A = this chain, B = another copy of it.
Amino acid sequence: MFRIKKTQGRARSGELSLQRGVIQTPCFMPIATKGAVKSLDVSDLKHLGAQMILSNTYHLLLRPGQEAMQRHGGMPSLMGWDGPMLTDSGGYQVFSLSKMNKTTDEGVTFASHINGRKIHLSPESSIAMQQAIGADVMMQFDDVAAGQAPRARVEEAMQRSLSWAQRCLIARTSNQKLFGIVQGGVYEDLRTTSANALTQMDFDGFAIGGLSVGEKREDTYRMSELVADLLPATKPRYFMGGGMPEEIVFYVNAGVDMFDCVLPTRNARHGTLFVWTGQPEHINWSMNPTDFYERLRVGNEMYQFDDSVIDAHCGCHTCKTVSRAYLRHLFATGELLAFRLASIHNLAFYMRLMSSLRAYIGSQSI
């Protein structure tokens, strides 16, 4: 299922074989929360070179619901996406979106953020919903402690997530892949306990969860390195929900293979574009550089008469067809097209970042 092709220090490039296709790692998964990457369609994703996308179990459970997903034969079928898909388990959204939730060892009861309706999620019902969505890779249902939670709460969430991990493996009745999630906040011993216990279970891959939730970046970095080193070399490693471009470079150099993040599309909708400061193929990624891009706030008045391309080092649809001045005009006048063009560029930036990282791994003498 997962084959490592080359390594560079701890970084590795590989091939992950899934039901709907083979993807090259390290890879970034654009987020199709409710079955659509915001403002983009499937042919846009194909043009961008997206290999795999992510959908959110929590959102799809609310709308269209599990029965609808079953009748549609899953979200890939409904949206016409023939590539691989991963679904999260709903655990993180319960923690981040729903204000009224009650967690016991059995599961979580929460109020829908749309209409307040009471919904219950457990390891078993999360897996059932993920099977209905029909993604290639499912995630275990986990209990996520907030970044500022006291150690006792972090430990409880970690231990509970371990017991839920077992229940998810038992609950699975399909041949979809299932990943376990390492928890434990910013505590080395808790992370170690979690990783060691999880890797004794029969998961197809492992995720580093519960980071990028408000802790200091140095802690995120320290924990991701620690956990990556504890995970088996032969299985794919997925950092959940991160992050900025320089963070992804760091995690890749720590040995992580898969990523997802709202940053490229969310920044795009707010008019912030990622722009290369130089040719990405010339960057020495082994040094964990941070100065390889700038954030261009294209709505800024200074771009009103700037008829240059958004990014001279990018060949995406947006950079090939519109100027900074036109994109600025679209944001200034509130045109929907602005979101689309900016999203295409930012996702192209992330796709290029990953292909550049893949090319770098194994290309240099160690």
Contacts and interface: CB of A to CB of B under 8 A. Distances in A.
Interface string A317-352: 100011101100110110111011100000000000
A353 to B, nearest CB: 24
Interface residues of A, number: 37
A78 interface: yes
B41 A329 contact: no
10 contacts: A34-B335, A35-B333, A36-B335, A36-B337, A38-B336, A39-B337, A41-B340, A80-B322, A80-B323, A80-B326
Nearest to A72: B325
Counted per complex, copies of this chain come to 2
A333 B34 contact: yes
A43 B321 contact: yes
Nearest to A59: B333
Given A39-B336, A336-B339, 17 more contacts: A34-B335, A35-B333, A36-B330, A38-B335, A39-B39, A39-B337, A41-B321, A43-B317, A43-B321, A63-B332, A64-B304, A68-B304, A72-B325, A78-B325, A78-B326, A80-B322, A80-B323
A224 to B, nearest CB: 32
Interface of A: 34-36, 38-43, 59, 63-64, 68, 71-72, 78-80, 304-305, 307, 317, 321-323, 325-326, 329-330, 332-333, 335-337, 339-341
